[in-house]
């Protein structure tokens, strides 16, 4: 039996959680984007479309997803503020119990994060947080 792609439902739920999380709202003001333009107000988060592979287990059919959340921050001389932003992203999503429009989120786990200097100059940072997830429905 082939897998079932539930990634659009997962992506919507992840973006909604990030936008509504109180700790993140204080840091990015609800700016959680699917795509960002050149004039985007910083700081902000961008959530990439997930990588998707089929998932099947006894009684379940769905997809395994790798999610990537990007955090962009300016005006910080050191790593602390972007690391705090990534920690807030991880806290909002790691082991979160998100309701999906279709299927169920079986698990969502923070895998790793990294920080890169953004080429816009000193004090500009790009943080990357990666998550693994499985969304499925019963067969």
pLDDT higher at 17 or 1: 17
Q: What is the pLDDT of residues 66-125, one digit of tens each?
A: 999 999 999 888 889 999 999 999 999 999 999 999 999 999 999 999 998 877 777 889
Q: What are phi and psi of 103, to 5 degrees?
A: 80, -170
> Residue 17 domain-assigned?
yes
Q: Which domain holds residue 47?
A: 6-138
Is 21 strand, coil or helix? coil
> Residue 1 domain-assigned?
no
> Residue 22 domain-assigned?
yes
Say which CATH number the domain at 49 has: 3.30.2000.30
pLDDT higher at 122 or 40: 40
At residue 22, the pLDDT reads 97
> Residue 26 domain-assigned?
yes
The total of other beta-carbon atoms located within 10 Å of residue 55's CB is 20
Spatial separation of the C-alpha atoms in residues 13 and 21, rounded to whole Å: 12
> Residue 87 domain-assigned?
yes
At residue 1, the pLDDT reads 53
Spatial separation of the C-alpha atoms in residues 66 and 47, rounded to whole Å: 11
* Residue (of 71, 55, 17) closest to 132 by Cα position: 55
* Residue (of 45, 48, 47, 63) closest to 100 by Cα position: 63
CA 67 → CA 8, 58, 59, distances in Å? Answer: 12, 24, 24
> Residue 96 domain-assigned?
yes
pTM: 0.94
The total of other beta-carbon atoms located within 10 Å of residue 40's CB is 13
> Residue 121 domain-assigned?
yes
Q: What is the pLDDT of residues 27-39, one digit of tens each?
A: 999 999 999 888 8
Looking at the 3D structure of the chain, how many domains does it have? Answer: 1
């Amino acid at each position: 039996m082939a897998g079932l792609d539930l990634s659009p439902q997962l992506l919507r739920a992840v973006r909604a959680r990030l936008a509504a999380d109180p700790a993140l709202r204080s840091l990015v003001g609800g700016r959680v984007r699917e795509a960002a333009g050149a004039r985007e107000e910083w700081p902000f988060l961008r959530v990439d479309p997930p990588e998707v592979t089929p998932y099947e287990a006894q009684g379940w059919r769905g997809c395994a997803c790798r999610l990537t959340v990007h955090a962009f921050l300016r005006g910080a001389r050191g790593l602390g503020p972007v690391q705090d932003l990534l920690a807030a992203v991880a806290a909002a999503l790691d082991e979160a119990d998100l309701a999906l429009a279709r299927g169920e989120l079986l698990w969502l786990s923070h895998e790793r994060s990294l920080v890169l200097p953004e080429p816009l100059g000193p004090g500009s940072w790009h943080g990357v947080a990666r998550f693994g997830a499985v969304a499925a429905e019963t067969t």
